[in-house]
Amino acid sequence: DTGVSQNPRHKITKRGQNVTFRCDPISEHNRLYWYRQTLGQGPEFLTYFQNEAQLEKSRLLSDRFSAERPKGSFSTLEIQRTEQGDSAMYLCASSTGQRYQETQYFGPGTRLLVL
Amino acid sequence: SQKIEQNSEALNIQEGKTATLTCNYTNYSPAYLQWYRQDPGRGPVFLLLIRENEKEKRKERLKVTFDTTLKQSLFHITASQPADSATYLCALDTNAGKSTFGDGTTLTVKP
């Protein structure tokens, strides 16, 4: 068990470009979450998966954001036509999804800067 | 509207003292509440989980209380150390495994 990993750790892009982030959860964790965090704020929920099914997507999430978890293992988060307001830390977390084992284990995050 | 408030953005205390952090919420009925620690540039790290039917939970120098009537959780660090300096986040389970986080309190423990 190597924990949750995220790649890349840092991404600088120009406004209007597309970016994709990857998250590898802890193996055998069924649930995978994406959050966004800006300076001085707590993590803000974006979406989550139970295995390969995307169960919920935040209403705050625009159509430029899409996430997949095709085989129920790793997940990708894509942002199309990036805007400066997308600059933030993108955090991934995973959990077993079992009752009484709800703890989420977070990855180190991907820091995005949109110029 | 639903709201989670953590006391003051920053808390400064002297080494050896007890730090007490507060998490208040409105318009939620959480099944459980969690506390996380976050260091700059890193993801949150889980510390403690307390369920709605539990009043108190302890882990080493950490203690969490949960009062569903007051809609409040208190997080205590006893015998604080400079290494405890970090941002502490509370998170409420608001929908079957999806957590909503407060904005955190940044604790600084001075030697």
| Residue B97, pLDDT score | 67
User: Which pLDDT score, from 0 to 100, does residue A49 have?
Assistant: 94
Among candidates B41, B43, B100 on the partner chain, residue whose Cβ is nearest the Cβ of A45: B100
The pLDDT value given to residue B96? 65
- Closest C-alpha among A96, A42, A90, A102 to residue A65: A90
> What is the per-residue pLDDT across A39-70, written as a single tens digit (0 to 9) for each?
999 999 999 999 999 988 888 778 999 999 99
What parts of chain A have a pLDDT lower than 70? 1, 100-101
Please write the tens of the pLDDT for every residue from B89-104: 999 987 666 789 999 9
Q: Which of B28, B98, B105, B106 to mutate to test the interface with A (most CBs of A within 10 A)?
A: B98
Cβ contact, residue pair A43, B49, below 8 Å = no
Of A40, A93, A95, the CB nearest to B103: A40
**Count H helices, E strands: chain B?**
0, 11
Query: Which residues of chain B does A31 touch, with a Cβ-Cβ cutoff of 8 Å?
Result: 97
Alpha-carbon span A113 to A96, nearest angstrom: 31
First and final C-alpha spacing in chain A: 36
Tokens, residue A63? 């159509």
In terms of Cβ atoms closer than 10 Å to its own Cβ (0-12, 13-18, 19+), residue B24 is middle
> Number of A:B CB contacts under 8 A?
54
Nearest by CB to B97, which of A95, A106, A108?
Answer: A95
CA distance A83 to B36: 30
